[in-house]
A and B are shown apart, each in its own frame.
Chain A
Amino acid sequence: MIQFFVKGVIRDRSRSLFSFIVVTLGVFLAVIFRGFMAGVFDDMMRQSAIMQTGHVKVATRAYAEEADLMPNDLAILEVDSLITALEQHYPALFWTPRITFAGLLDVPDAQGETRKQGAMMGVAIDFFSESTRQIELWDLNNKLTSGNLPRTPEEVLLGNEFARRLEVEIGDVVTFIGGTMYGGFASYNFTVAGTVSLGVGAFDRNILMVDLEGARQALDMENAASFVMGFYQDMFYDDPGSVILSARFNDAHSAEENDVFGPVMHALRDQQNLGAMVDLSGQVLWLIIGIFMFAVTVVLWNLGLMNGLRRYGEIGVRLAMGETKTHVFGTMLIESLIIGMAGTVVGTAMGLLLVLYLQEVGLDYSALMENYAIPVSTVMRGKITPDLYVIGVVPGIFATLIGTMLAGRGIYKRELSQLFKELET
């Protein structure tokens, strides 16, 4: 019997094809939208974590208060012992110092006179220690656009756009001009080892990346760091875990509450209003499912009504042959289930393929962001998450069934004799 109706679904394209297309499209859009949003959120979180916040960040209380100003006079001292303690107490994370600093970058000509000059933002990371994962996290091998990674503390990377603007070549010497940790004048020569394109417009236009040791020499920050960042070993941000961990750390250091140079830990969500974004990413999933489910249900409801009208003859004949209304209604639901399942599988597969493309390749829209200083990724990414495999079931199968049920209800409630009058007209 089922086989008989499956044949009907396959042969009657006006019954099945449009419904199939609607379901496929609905599921496809739900999957790519969710995959895209997951990618965007994940990218934003990851970018923020790597570039600015870590999954958790330890700084002095005073530095944390004024973090936007990059006040290295409030930096953490005795960093090595702090990191040893953190590794001992919180082994689920790996810990790395970071120095951020600002100043001017001067490019001299052959006579030593200023040829070009620009405001810069310095980021000092651990390039050289054996256990460092910074090169992997920043994906520097792939983002290197010319030259090579620094091989000595005096070598630096410049943002692609920054190097172009300053007309700097690989091997050129550039001079950092700024202030030391102690408030003195700093002037330090670096050699440009390479250029990078980080995919974040604001960084690419003014970043200078250097090893911690080079920055410490330039800024007179022996065994100091602006802050220490902690990352989960698997690089997946655990929001509740980070909040608990921060609270534990801060409780353990509550005795130093009045010491402005005492350490304080903040989870990613507590920095730069990222908590709202973390919460939003969860809510957006259900919003997307809700919107697509509603839209697909309404379209399929209408399709079901149109099909029902078109199939009055068939329904009337089947009832005359002795099929019960319940059975007719049931077979209509089975038909829609078949269409819903087929559309869900195809729509999910199509959506996953596109999300996979966005995840692996991405869409570069940096040209559109040239004039913006917002530190966001200029490569649009998707992310394959486990829920993408099942998210389509809701709009694809449930909405199809609900649409058919709503449409079938009208026929189900109709008097048989009325159905036959309509059948004959």
Chain B
Amino acid sequence: MAHHHIVEIRGLVKRFPMGGNHFTALKGIDLDIEIGEFTGLVGPSGSGKTTLLNIIGGLDAPSEGTLTVLDMALAEKNHKELAALRRHGIGFIFQTFNLLPVYSAYENVELPLLLLGLPADKRKAAVMHALERVGLTDKAQSRPAQLSGGESQRVAIARAIVKEPRLVLADEPTANLDAANSHNVMGILARLNRELSTSFIFATHDEKVMGYLTRVLHLVDGTIQREELVEHPQFLEKV
């Protein structure tokens, strides 16, 4: 059944040097994520959510344990191979949107496709389709400074899903949004999850986000203390 797992983690430990000692951020994580899951890593600040997300995304390396993401054993891979994995298979959504300010919404969404070397006509079709999914075709030529917070995060979502990745990692995607925009953004992500079978892993402590998740992993002090499978998430039914 390994081929159903988009993420497989065994005995994952992450230590950070601190003075002469080490601080252990993750203490032996075992975790499988299946294709199409809508999963959340939930916990207080310092519980290890972002560290785990970074390791899954190949942005950081584990100190111990094994990790397979999209059928690739990350511990054995170099920087270039990890970059290729992210380029082809993983999308990122950040708390602070991180749109490139000098480029239009269209150009921000186009960048991942430029990195994949797609021809201009295919890029244009894919970008417009992604902007359509987030309801922002009319803002294609707007610069980030001309967009509201909610619109900016929707552009960031379009940028994350434009290459139709198998996995999207979202770190506190609603932290800078009001309630209405938070629901709007989560609604879009839930629809994408349903339509594209894209797997989503969230790092969050936002109750509103939790109301959409079908699987909630509670992290405390670097360990998964509790796992919750939600059959009927509070808000998901309304999407």
The answer to whether the Cβ of B182 comes within 8 Å of any Cβ in the partner chain is: no
Please, what's the 1-or-0 string for B162-174, where 1 marks a CB less than 8 Å from any CB in chain A?
A: 0000000001000
The 7 A-B pairs of least Cβ separation, nearest first, read A322-B87, A417-B60, A322-B86, A11-B102, A320-B92, A12-B102, A324-B83
Chain A to chain B contacts (Cβ below 8 Å), 13 pairs = A4-B103, A4-B107, A7-B107, A8-B102, A319-B59, A321-B111, A321-B115, A322-B88, A416-B54, A416-B59, A417-B54, A423-B94, A423-B96
Please, what's the 1-or-0 string for A317-350, where 1 marks a CB less than 8 Å from any CB in chain B?
A: 1111111111000000000000000000000000
Given contacts A4-B114, A420-B59, A423-B96, 17 further A-B contacts (CB under 8 A): A4-B111, A7-B107, A313-B96, A313-B98, A314-B98, A314-B100, A317-B94, A318-B111, A319-B83, A321-B86, A321-B87, A321-B111, A322-B87, A324-B79, A325-B79, A424-B94, A424-B171
Q: In chain A, what residue has the closest Cβ to B92? A: A320
From B60, B80, B92, B171, A321 is in contact (CB under 8 Å) with B92
Grouping DSSP codes into helix (H, G, I), strand (E, B) and loop, the B interface class, with mixed when no group exceeds half, is helix
A323-B98 in contact (CB<8A) = no
The answer to whether the Cβ of B222 comes within 8 Å of any Cβ in the partner chain is: no
Rounded to whole angstroms, the CA-CA distance of A78 and B80 in the bound complex is 86
From A7, A314, A320, A424, B95 is in contact (CB under 8 Å) with A424
B84-A322 in contact (CB<8A) = yes
The answer to whether the Cβ of A255 comes within 8 Å of any Cβ in the partner chain is: no
Residues of chain B from 87 to 113 with CB closer than 8 A to chain A in the complex: 87-88, 90, 92, 94-96, 98, 100-103, 107, 110-112
Q: In chain A, what residue has the closest Cβ to B86? A: A322
From A322, A415, A417, B115 is in contact (CB under 8 Å) with A322
Rounded to whole angstroms, the CA-CA distance of A420 and B169 in the bound complex is 14
Q: A320-B57, A321-B87, A324-B83 are in contact. Are A424 and B100 (CB under 8 A)?
A: no
The answer to whether the Cβ of A1 comes within 8 Å of any Cβ in the partner chain is: yes
Q: A4-B107, A8-B102, A321-B112 are in contact. Are A417 and B59 (CB under 8 A)?
A: yes
Rounded to whole angstroms, the CA-CA distance of A144 and B204 in the bound complex is 89
Number of B residues, CB within 8 Å of A? 31
The answer to whether the Cβ of B70 comes within 8 Å of any Cβ in the partner chain is: no
Residues of B within 8 Å of A324, CB to CB, are 79-80, 83
The answer to whether the Cβ of A382 comes within 8 Å of any Cβ in the partner chain is: no
Q: In chain A, what residue has the closest Cβ to B81? A: A324
Rounded to whole angstroms, the CA-CA distance of A11 and B101 in the bound complex is 10
Number of A residues, CB within 8 Å of B? 25
A322-B107 in contact (CB<8A) = no
Rounded to whole angstroms, the CA-CA distance of A420 and B94 in the bound complex is 10
Please, what's the 1-or-0 string for B46-63, where 1 marks a CB less than 8 Å from any CB in chain A?
A: 000001001001011000
Rounded to whole angstroms, the CA-CA distance of A325 and B81 in the bound complex is 12
Q: In chain B, what residue has the closest Cβ to A323? A: B115
The answer to whether the Cβ of A308 comes within 8 Å of any Cβ in the partner chain is: no
Please, what's the 1-or-0 string for A364-387, where 1 marks a CB less than 8 Å from any CB in chain B?
A: 000000000000000000000000
B86-A320 in contact (CB<8A) = yes
Q: In chain B, what residue has the closest Cβ to A314? A: B100
Please, what's the 1-or-0 string for B138-162, where 1 marks a CB less than 8 Å from any CB in chain A?
A: 0000000000000000000001000
A320-B59 in contact (CB<8A) = yes
The answer to whether the Cβ of B85 comes within 8 Å of any Cβ in the partner chain is: yes
Rounded to whole angstroms, the CA-CA distance of A319 and B94 in the bound complex is 13
